[in-house]
Chain A
Amino acid sequence: MNLTLKIWRQKGPQDKGQMVEYKVTDISEHMSFLEMMDVLNEDLVAKNEEPVAFDHDCREGICGMCSLHINGEPHGPDRGITTCQLHMRMFNDGDTIYIEPWRATAFPVIKDLVVDRTAFERIQQAGGYISVNTSGNTQDANSIPISKHNADLSMDAATCIGCGACVASCKNSSAMLFVSAKVSQFALLPQGRIEAADRVKNMVAQMDLEGFGNCTNTGACEVECPKGISLENIARMNREYLKASI
């Protein structure tokens, strides 16, 4: 198929940036979206133009590095996948596709489609851990039974890949889904209960400091999340926060 691409080009953080139009031809429906971008970049290199910078790494939907806003949706039109798992069979010959970076104050653009997500790092550093040394002198792994139900819920929350689609999809650029996933993972486990109160307070404080917006329960994040992280996590975080604050 032949496609028209309208891509956000921005030289650096200070540059104003603009949409630029490109054409790609002979795109196979079996290609992944990023392989289509590879084809474009090969063309650009051949024409001595600068290729489009975009983040990507594992190309199997787990590292969380890829991050494109495609036709107004984080990770594009398919559900339950990242951009690298999106395939061209989701598009039609002759389509025009708009490709932009994540848009959020807390995620400044570095170049073209690459944004700075270190705000997420700082939130994790504020409390996204259990304070146990890695010496190995802990108790036997089976000495604390954990109900399968809670272990599964914890696992579901822990599958967050930290891509930032929740923030990009939110009209308030809220990071509540991301933060609540980590808070929930630990809050659901006995090991994590000990620091639960401090954790939720510190992580929320850092989230606010980074300039992420508030949650107004529109639920766009849950729809766009490639890993299906549930809104229930936000509810759980709110409960944890309330408990910790009174």
Chain B
Amino acid sequence: MTTLNSKVPEGPIKDKWTTYKDKINLVNPANKRNIDIIVVGTGLAGGSASATLAELGYNVKAFAYQDSPRRAHSIAAQGGINAAKNYQGDGDSNYRLFYDTVKGGDYRSREANVYRLAEVSGNIIDQCVAQGVPFARDYGGLLDNRSFGGVLVSRTFYAKGQTGQQLLLGAYSAMNRQIARGKIEMFNRHEMLDVVIIDGKARGIIARNLITGEIERHSAHAVVIATGGYGNVYYLSTNAMGSNATAAWKIHKRGAFFANPCFTQIHPTCIPRSGDYQSKLTLMSESLRNDGRIWVPAKIEDAKAIQQGKLKPTEIPEEDRDYYLERRYPAFGNLVPRDVASRAAKERCDAGYGVNATGEAVYLDFASAIERYGKEQAKIKGIKNPSKAQITELGEAIIEAKYGNLFQMYEKIVDENPYKTPMMIYPATHYTMGGIWVDYNLMTTVPGLYCIGEANFSDHGANRLGASALMQGLADGYFVLPYTIGDYLSDDIRTGKIPTDAPEFDDVEKEVKERLEFFINNKGTHSVDYFHKKLGKVMWNKVGMARNEKHLKEAIAEIQEIRDDFWKNVKVPGSLNELNPELEKAGRVADFLELGELFAKDALERKESCGGHFREEYQTEDGEALRDDKNYAYVAAWEYTGKPSEAIMHKEQLEFKDIELKTRSYK
């Protein structure tokens, strides 16, 4: 049986990464030219890793299922990226970013990894500015910052509400430079369908050309998985339609352990769903909570009237509004971490105070901010005794400058003007903290197989803080993996090209082809989406924001039933050798149907509440998450043994030497 070795270097936490880098093996430039690396996924993690590895001299083969690396879903990240620059002089430091991240993650992440993340965070900003990322600046020409949930400093750098886009385009431009030099070979519209392991080491992948349907073999000395999270297991999420867990799940089935699948982030501020046809949910950036105040009616009769369309939010007087986050968490107010904000919204809606027809929405109101900014502007502009209309106009201009694109997005979807009436929001699945288990080197339990970005489990514990996903993706890709992978590859300088005619390639390719042929030939009765929606409903209702033993056990049984039904009755039209989106979806949903079960099993085993994982049986008297550090301060890393129900759990005990374990409080 494999034992987990996190390979965290010895020494004080502040020196670990530096000392470690000083001592690891390197590959000389001449030898790098003889080494191939496959990177699957070209978002912030995969894109930055591809570019950096190619700059170092390795031959990189990069794969994306979209028609360009620029379309990876990192592009949709809105609010910003954290870095401990302390440009605001408000007390920030590497230690504080490290502390906030570990605390925000409810003490379920690995200290050494998180410290390293904080340590390299400043470099990311330097790097991105050098690349031409147009971050927001103040009038003196220096970089501007905003604040995000769960912290007491302003350390978030941003580019309007499109920070992910700008950072991804930065990584994409670095990739383009290397593609032009011939150091990255880019495979757009290709999907990895399995990994090939030879003599215990990851040596290649099987990929499908999504245009021609051709099954291709690609070999390399190491394989890097950077394919993002598995939020689409819920069917509805803020992920892109194509976001999937296939690469991660396939490597899990070939030996990579899957860690903490139940740690999933439900983001508090998304546009509520409107009907059964809904295909995805849209996020409204957390940055809005800098200025927006969240509330529901204080009186149940007002809530009922709103639900029936008889009352408008603007008609409810101030004293009849319940700003429940400010009430419950005075210290952090509207900027409590995401898990806390989501549960609080659910609590109010479950109690009947929801504010749309479905009763599943709360208000995010900018009226106070518009007034505040308006008065400020009037003063700056020297307007004496400004009228209410003047104040509103001036204030709205500031809000538009800060969040214009988000307000426009909201208006297009909901058909209401959020400057005039409060936004309606509700929590939705957004990010997965769980993922493939990796050691300090970001290597999985399979030698030569790495996993970076959202796809791995390492840095966010049980809850990720806002603006930290971009930080982690780029830290892994630009600054961590390029070092650690060299240590592994230094043993491979004499290996030479990996042949693709090895029997291992034959076997895996055969399995891949058989599965695809099965889908086409099954000619069942229901479309792929039919099963995906069914799975999503079970996941949301029974493995969602609040979980309990009974529901989790039911969920496991129901997912197994849906899976059996899927394999009997799925219908995939078209043929193998063409662009066939239904065939692509079939493979992804087949994998979600297995992952969902492991997810529920993990949630069942973790008999405590922490971060995004809330077990109703384990809560304090006032409804806060009740952690059990004595028994559950570990990473649950699951080994695949043939079926999700038979997966074996390995524990990586978490040690907290630099941060005292205590109850997370934002009150």
Is the beta-carbon distance between A63 and B71 smaller than 8 angstroms?
yes
- B123 in the interface, Cβ–Cβ < 8 Å? yes
Closest to B478 in A: A134
**Interchain nearest-CB distance for B665 vs A (Å):** 34
A139–B128 Cα distance when bound, in Å, is: 11
Interface string of B259-299 (1 = CB under 8 A from A): 00000000000000011011110110000000000000000
A142–B172 Cα distance when bound, in Å, is: 23
Given A57-B241, A130-B131: A145 touches B412 (CB 8 Å cut-off): no
Given A110-B579, A141-B125: A132 touches B67 (CB 8 Å cut-off): no
A144–B128 Cα distance when bound, in Å, is: 13
List the A side residues contacting B141 at CB < 8 Å.
145-148, 151
Is the beta-carbon distance between B130 and A155 smaller than 8 angstroms?
no
List the A side residues contacting B479 at CB < 8 Å.
136
Is the beta-carbon distance between A155 and B134 smaller than 8 angstroms?
yes
Name A139-164 residues within 8 Å CB distance of B.
139-142, 144-148, 151-152, 154-155, 158-159, 161-162
**Interchain nearest-CB distance for B476 vs A (Å):** 12
Stretch at the interface among B176-184, B347-355, B543-551, B632-640: B176-184
Is the beta-carbon distance between B134 and A125 smaller than 8 angstroms?
no
- A233 in the interface, Cβ–Cβ < 8 Å? no
Is the beta-carbon distance between B71 and A192 smaller than 8 angstroms?
no
Is the beta-carbon distance between A53 and B581 smaller than 8 angstroms?
yes
Given A34-B279, A42-B529: A50 touches B180 (CB 8 Å cut-off): no
- A31 in the interface, Cβ–Cβ < 8 Å? yes
Is the beta-carbon distance between A64 and B137 smaller than 8 angstroms?
no
Is the beta-carbon distance between A51 and B275 smaller than 8 angstroms?
no
Dominant secondary structure at the A interface: loop
- B221 in the interface, Cβ–Cβ < 8 Å? no
Is the beta-carbon distance between A191 and B129 smaller than 8 angstroms?
yes
- A131 in the interface, Cβ–Cβ < 8 Å? yes
Name B158-207 residues within 8 Å CB distance of A.
159-160, 162, 165-166, 169, 172-174, 176-177, 179-180, 186, 188
List the B side residues contacting A192 at CB < 8 Å.
132
Is the beta-carbon distance between A134 and B52 smaller than 8 angstroms?
yes
Given A78-B412, A87-B413, A117-B68: A59 touches B211 (CB 8 Å cut-off): no
Is the beta-carbon distance between A155 and B160 smaller than 8 angstroms?
yes
- A180 in the interface, Cβ–Cβ < 8 Å? no
Is the beta-carbon distance between B173 and A128 smaller than 8 angstroms?
yes
- Name the contact of A87 in the complex, choosing from B159, B169, B412 (C-beta under 8 A): B412
Given A57-B66, A148-B137: A31 touches B129 (CB 8 Å cut-off): no
Is the beta-carbon distance between B130 and A51 smaller than 8 angstroms?
no
Interface string of A159-175 (1 = CB under 8 A from B): 10110000000000000
- Name the contact of A142 in the complex, choosing from B120, B142, B169, B238 (C-beta under 8 A): B142
Interface string of A15-50 (1 = CB under 8 A from B): 000000000000010111011001100101110111
- Name the contact of A132 in the complex, choosing from B130, B140, B578, B579 (C-beta under 8 A): B130
Is the beta-carbon distance between B277 and A130 smaller than 8 angstroms?
no
Name B496-534 residues within 8 Å CB distance of A.
527, 529
**Interchain nearest-CB distance for B604 vs A (Å):** 32
A136–B119 Cα distance when bound, in Å, is: 12
Is the beta-carbon distance between B579 and A53 smaller than 8 angstroms?
yes
A35–B139 Cα distance when bound, in Å, is: 43
Closest to A89 in B: B415
- A69 in the interface, Cβ–Cβ < 8 Å? no
A239–B282 Cα distance when bound, in Å, is: 40
Is the beta-carbon distance between A118 and B180 smaller than 8 angstroms?
no
List the B side residues contacting A49 at CB < 8 Å.
573
List the A side residues contacting B142 at CB < 8 Å.
142, 145
Is the beta-carbon distance between A189 and B176 smaller than 8 angstroms?
no
Is the beta-carbon distance between A130 and B75 smaller than 8 angstroms?
no
Q: Which of A89, A116, A124, A129 has its CB near the most chain B CB atoms (within 10 A)? A: A129
A118–B139 Cα distance when bound, in Å, is: 39
List the B side residues contacting A148 at CB < 8 Å.
137-139, 141
Closest to B271 in A: A60
List the B side residues contacting A65 at CB < 8 Å.
66-67, 71
Is the beta-carbon distance between B527 and A42 smaller than 8 angstroms?
yes
List the B side residues contacting A110 at CB < 8 Å.
211, 579
- A208 in the interface, Cβ–Cβ < 8 Å? no
A53–B70 Cα distance when bound, in Å, is: 21
A169–B474 Cα distance when bound, in Å, is: 36
- A219 in the interface, Cβ–Cβ < 8 Å? no
Is the beta-carbon distance between A63 and B73 smaller than 8 angstroms?
yes
List the B side residues contacting A125 at CB < 8 Å.
176-177, 179-180
Residues in chain B within 8 A of chain A (CB atoms): 48, 51-52, 55, 66-68, 70-73, 75-76, 85, 87, 120, 123-132, 134-143, 159-160, 162, 165-166, 169, 172-174, 176-177, 179-180, 186, 188, 211, 238, 240-242, 274-275, 277-280, 282-283, 408-409, 412-413, 415, 478-479, 527, 529, 571, 573-574, 578-579, 581-582
**Could you name 22 residue pairs across A and B whose Cβ atoms are closer than 8 Å?**
A30-B274, A31-B275, A34-B279, A38-B277, A46-B527, A50-B574, A57-B240, A58-B73, A62-B75, A117-B67, A121-B68, A124-B172, A124-B173, A129-B176, A130-B173, A134-B55, A138-B130, A142-B87, A142-B142, A151-B136, A159-B160, A191-B131
Additional pairs, 13, CB under 8 Å, beyond known A58-B71, A162-B68: A12-B578, A30-B415, A46-B527, A53-B579, A59-B241, A59-B280, A63-B73, A87-B412, A128-B176, A141-B125, A144-B129, A146-B141, A186-B132
